[in-house]
Amino acid sequence: QVQLVESGGGLVQPGGSLRLSCAASGRSFSNFAVSWVRQAPGKEREFVAAISAGGGTKGHADSVKGRFTISRDNAKNSVYLQMNSLKPDDTAVYYCAADRRETGISVQVADYDFWGQGTQVTVSS
């Protein structure tokens, strides 16, 4: 079992940057792969990025490659999403989600069992 809490969302102008954080509780956090998933109004949840339990494998959606970077610090039970060159289309609620998977990652949203409450990111001038 793991509990997840996101923070760092807010309002930013196009071209700006934000850093999202996901804080986890639970002693076995280092056994979980973690992803960032977003949901815009009226749309389905969309995979954004994922990182393996040990941090050695990462994946990013084509829509964010070169702009977003996922990372983690298992000593701090935290996962981060650095978002640069933000666009209005990036506006969404961003969730972190965990999957008990000791190696590799999944890009399938349905594979993630534990979810945070989400943090709103709004990109607007």
The DSSP-derived string for 76-88 is GTEEEEEE-S--G
Helices (H) and strands (E) in the chain, counts: 0, 11
Cα distance between residue 69 and residue 46, in whole Å: 16
pLDDT tens for residues 38-56? 999 999 999 999 999 999 9
Distance (Å) of CA 97 to CA 24, 34, 121, 123: 10, 6, 17, 22
Residue 45 per-residue DSSP state: -
What single-letter amino acid sits at 123? V
Cα distance between residue 99 and residue 118, in whole Å: 17
Q: What average pLDDT score do residues 87-104 get?
A: 96
pLDDT tens for residues 100-117? 998 999 999 999 999 999
Residue carrying structure tokens 């709103």:
120
